[in-house]
Amino acid sequence: MNFKKLLVCVGLVGVSAVGVGCGGGDPPVTPPVVCNEMTLASGASHFYVVNLLSIAAPVGDVMPLMSAGFNVDGDEVAACNMHIVGESTEFTGQAPDNGTGIDNALGGQLASLANDGIQGSVDDGSVLLLVEVRGVDNMTNDSCVGVNFYLGVLPTGVAMPMVDGEGHLAADQTFDLSDQSFIDGLTGTMPRIKFGSAKIVAGRVQAGPSDFPLQLNLLGAELSLTIRDAQLRFNISETGISAGVLGGALNTQEVIDTVNGIPSLMMYAEIVADVLTMSADIDESMPPSLDSCEAGSISLQLDGVHATRGMVVTPPP
């Protein structure tokens, strides 16, 4: 590029790059995709119902154990509660896209207690978790998609959902959306659980972090919990989602307060408090403190099948 051309191009910077040959044959710079509602509205939406749901349990015989999940605290060393490397509070990632230093301290404590009740609630339709992936232009690689979660409701007149040969929710059913899934209620335009800027890489959705309100069935009672700074991964296709992992942190005091507020669980409050306190591995204090653990890491595993989105409704009492 000669000196005169350089001066012309410098003068045009910030005005317009269209139609000006300032690159000397260099390829044009492609602006990054801005992921917003307008972008998401231009792509296709795909709708699923979760038919397999469980708390991920640590596996293996050698420390550190293996577990599906995420590096919630951003390091590979337990930094609080006097945990040390090699204890079950720190794991090595089971899924390649989730790296190392995986945190799932509560999985080993809660999986055996809760998983039968969780899956049973999913199978009989009392807990319906719906997933919508919006703005999909390409299911293999897409730099801008959105992921919403909703509480599902069986349509009027349907007493039980259809199940497959294994007793799990069958594909291609219609489910309504509870108005409790939306900040604006029956208007149904502002989802409470929203990963607004996600992407698909090699056929796998990557989303988060975002807070994730969740209801779990524990010993016959519904626990309303919030997984903080949740991250999400799952494989996506036209017919379903698979190998899904959702991981984040549960604030210890919030869980204890919730248990204390449920009469049928109050007798277990002291045990729950002990388990959560001993297992806590996430420091939420500001500024961080090496001897402070306010939350415990947890991971959920999920699969889903194709479903049809129904109406936004107020669930029956």
pLDDT of residue 25: 58
- Please check whether residue 289 lies inside any domain of the structure: yes
pLDDT of residue 14: 35
Q: pTM for this structure?
A: 0.82
Cβ-based neighbour number of residue 22 at 10 Å: 14
Cα 5 from Cα 10, distance rounded (Å): 9
Give the dihedral sign, CA 160/163/168/172. negative
Cα 304 from Cα 52, distance rounded (Å): 7
Enclosing domain of residue 252? 42-313
Cα 193 from Cα 127, distance rounded (Å): 16
- How does DSSP classify residue 27? P
Contacts of 284 (CB under 8 A, 6+ apart): 228, 249, 251, 294, 295
pLDDT of residue 83: 55
285: phi > 0 → left, psi -120 to 50 → alpha, else beta; which?
Answer: beta
- Please check whether residue 20 lies inside any domain of the structure: no
How many domains is the chain built from?
1
pLDDT of residue 292: 73
- Please check whether residue 265 lies inside any domain of the structure: yes
- Please check whether residue 259 lies inside any domain of the structure: yes
pLDDT of residue 290: 59
Cα 156 from Cα 151, distance rounded (Å): 16
pLDDT of residue 9: 29
Cα 292 from Cα 5, distance rounded (Å): 61
Cα 259 from Cα 263, distance rounded (Å): 8
Contacts of 237 (CB under 8 A, 6+ apart): 139, 203
pLDDT of residue 19: 39
Please say whether the beta carbons of 125 and 168 come within 8 A. no
Cα 70 from Cα 298, distance rounded (Å): 9
Q: Are strands 173-178 and 295-313 parallel, antiparallel or unpaired?
A: parallel
Cα 24 from Cα 2, distance rounded (Å): 10
pLDDT of residue 128: 95
User: Which residues does the chain have with pLDDT short of 70?
Assistant: 1-33, 63-64, 76-99, 216-219, 286-291
310: phi > 0 → left, psi -120 to 50 → alpha, else beta; which?
Answer: beta
**Which uninterrupted H or E stretch holds 257?**
helix 252-260
- Please check whether residue 36 lies inside any domain of the structure: no
> What are the structure tokens assigned to 180, written together?
């409790």
pLDDT of residue 39: 85
Name the nearest CA neighbour of 90 among 287, 236, 296, 242.
296
- Please check whether residue 2 lies inside any domain of the structure: no
